[in-house]
Amino acid sequence: MVRKLKVMGAALFFVACGTAVPLHAQQSLSPPAVIPSDPGEYVARAGNCVACHSVPGGKAFTGGLKMMTPLGVIYTTNITPDPETGIGDYTLEDFDRAVRLGVAKDGHHLYPAMPYPSYAKLRPEDVKALYDYFMKSVPAVKQPDQPSDIPWPLNIRWPLAFWNLIFADDKPYADKPGHDATWNRGAYLVQGPGHCGACHTPRGPVFNEKALDESGIAFLAGGPLDNWSSPNLTQAVNTGLGRWSAADIAAYLKAGHNDHGTAFGSMIDVINNSTQYFTDADIAAIAAYLKSLPPAREPASVTAYTYDPATAAALHATPLTQAGAVTYVQRCESCHDSDGSGSAPYLPALAGNPAVLDNDPTSLINITLNGSARIVVAGMPDAYRMPQFRVTLTNQEIADAISFTRAAWGNKAGPVTADQVAAVRRETNPASDKIEILRMK
Ligand code: HEC
Ligand code: HEC
Ligand code: HEC
Q: How far apart are CA 429 and CA 216, in angstroms?
A: 35
Residue type at position 148: S
Q: How confident is the model at residue 319 (pLDDT cuts 50, 70, 90)?
A: confident
Among the bound ligands, the one closest to the CA of 267: 2
Q: 179: exposed, middle or buried (C-beta count within 10 Å: 0-12, 13-18, 19+)?
A: middle
Residue 29: predicted pLDDT:
56
State the average pLDDT for the chain.
90
pLDDT at 354 exceeding the cut of 60: yes
pLDDT of residue 158: 83
Tell me: the pLDDT tens digits for 96-125?
Answer: 999 999 999 999 999 999 999 999 999 999
CB half-sphere exposure, 37, CA atoms < 13 A: 0
The answer on pLDDT for 82 being more than 90 is yes
Gap from CA of 385 to ligand 3 centroid (Å): 7
* Residues lining ligand 3, Cβ inside 6 A: 18, 20, 261-262, 264, 331-332, 334-336, 347-348, 350, 353, 355-356, 364, 367-368, 372, 375, 382, 384-387, 389, 401-402, 405
Residue 412 pLDDT class (50, 70, 90 cuts): very high
Contacts of 78 (CB under 8 A, 6+ apart): 53, 61, 62, 63, 64, 85, 86, 87, 141, 143, 144, 145
| 272 closest CA partner among 377, 166, 134, 417 | 377
- Which atom of ligand 3 is least distant from the CA of 384? 12
| pLDDT for 117 | 96
The rounded Å distance from CA 303 to ligand 1 centre is 43
Task: Tell me if 70 sits within 8 A of 119, measured CB to CB.
Answer: no
Residue 30: which pLDDT band, with cuts at 50, 70 and 90?
A: low
115 lines ligand 1 (CB under 6 A): yes
Task: Please indicate whether residue 408, judged by its CB atom, sits closer than 6 Å to ligand 1.
Answer: no
Q: How far apart are the first and last CA of the chain?
A: 20
Report pLDDT digits (tens) over 120-159: 999 999 999 999 999 999 999 999 999 888 888 888 888 8
25, pLDDT greater than 70: no
